[in-house]
Structure 1
Amino acid sequence: MPPDVSLVLGFLNTVDVEQDTDVLRTEPDWQAWARERGLRADALADAVRARDALRASVGDPDAASGEVGAPVEVTLTAEGPRLAASSALGAVFAAAARLAVRGEWDRVKICPADDCRWAFYDRSRNRSRTWCSMKVCGNRQKARTFRERSTERGACGQLGG
C-alpha cells in the first residue's frame, strides 16, 4: 500500500468500532501511535478533532465535521516541490493533500456497516466499492437484508392466508 494511503488509513482507523478501541482515548496511546511512525504527537484534543473531521469528509455519518488544520511546509528540492510536516497531524494532512492532488481522495471511504465503520481504500476500477470487505461486512448486510425480506414475505403470506 502506498505510504500516503497507509498513513491516512492508519490515522482514520485509530478508532475501531467493532473492537471498541480508540488510540485517541489516552495521551500515552496517541503518543505511542505517533512515535511508531517516527512522528511527533500533536495535542490529543487536536488529534481527536482532526480525525473526526477527516472521517466525516470521507463519509462517516457518526463523525463530527469541522475545519481543522496543522502546519505543513512546502519546500523545493532538486526533485521538485515537497510537502513536509513536523508533527503527526501535519504528516497526515500532507498525505491527504497528496492523495487529493493525485485524484485519489475519493478512494478513501468508510464502511457503512454500523458495527464496523472501518476506513478503507477503494482500489476498484470504477471506484464503486462500498464495503471494507465483501466477505465480512457486505455478506453480513446481504444476509440481514435477505432475512428481512424473508420475514416480510412470510408475514404477507400469513396475512393473505
Structure 2
Amino acid sequence: MSPDVSLVLGFLNTVDVEQDTDVLRTEPDWHAWARERDLRPDALADAVRARGALRAALGDPDAMPAEVGAPVEVTLSAAGPELAAASAVGAVFAAAARLAVRGEWDRLKICPADDCRWAFYDQSRNRSRTWCSMKVCGNRQKARAFRERSTER
C-alpha cells in the first residue's frame, strides 16, 4: 500500500465504531497520532471536521458532508512538482489529492456495516469490493439477510 493510502486510511480510521474509540476525542490523542507520523497537529476541531468531510465524501452515511480545506502548497524541486503541507490535515488532503490525480480515490471505501464503518482500500481489479472484510462484516451481513429471508417464508 502506498504511503498516501496509508496516511488517508489511518486518518479516516482514527474512529473505530466497533471498539467505540476515537483518536479525535481528546487533543493529547490527536497530537500523539499526528506526531507519530512526523506531522504538526491542527486544531482538534479542524481535524474532526476534515475527517467527517472525507468520510462523507467516501459515502459514510453517518458523516456530515462539509466543505473544508487546509493549506497545501505546490513546490518545485529537481524531482519535479510536489504537494507540500505544514499540518497533519494538510498532509492528509495532499495525499487524498494525489490519490485522486492517480485515479485511486474511488478505491477508498467505507464498510457499509452499521457496527463497523471501517475505511479500506479496494484492491479488486474491477473496484467492486463492498465490505472491509468478507470474513467478518460481509459474512455477518449475508447471515443476517439469510435469516431475514428464512423468517419471511
Query: 1:74 maps to what in 2?
Result: 74
1:58 aligned onto 2:58: yes
Structure 1 counterpart of 2:119:
119
The share of aligned pairs that are identical, in percent, is 88
Map of 1:140-159 to 2, 5 A cutoff?
140-153=140-153
Structure 2 counterpart of 1:9:
9
Deviation per residue, 1:7-60 (Å, 9 max, x gap): 000000000000000000000000000000000000000000000000000010
Once the 2 structures are TM-superposed, how far is the Cα of residue 79 of structure 1 from its aligned partner?
Answer: 1.2
Aligned to 1:88: 88
Matching residue's letter, 1:117:
R
> Which ranges in structure 2 are unaligned for 5 or more consecutive residues?
none
Aligned pairs, how many?
Answer: 153
Which 4+ residue blocks in structure 1 deviate beyond 3 angstroms? none
Cα distance per residue 1:61-98 (max 9 Å; x no partner): 10011000001110011111000111000100000000
What is the distance in 2 between the residues matched to 1:120 and 1:60? 12
Instruction: For structure 1, list consecutive stretches of 5 or more residues without a partner in the other structure.
Output: 154-161
Q: Within 1, Cα distance between the matches of 2:59 and 2:134?
A: 18
Tell me if 1:98 matches 2:98: yes
Q: Distance in 1 between matches of 2:63 and 2:40?
A: 24
Bigger Cα Rg: 1
1:35 matched to 2:35? The reply is yes
Match of 1:156 in 2: none
1:130 corresponds to: 130
**C-alpha deviations, 1:100-141, integer Å up to 9, x for none?**
000000000000000000000000000000000001000000
The TM-score normalised by the length of structure 2 is: 0.99
RMSD (Å) for aligned C-alpha atoms: 0.4
The 1-side partners of 2:58 and 2:150 are apart by: 33
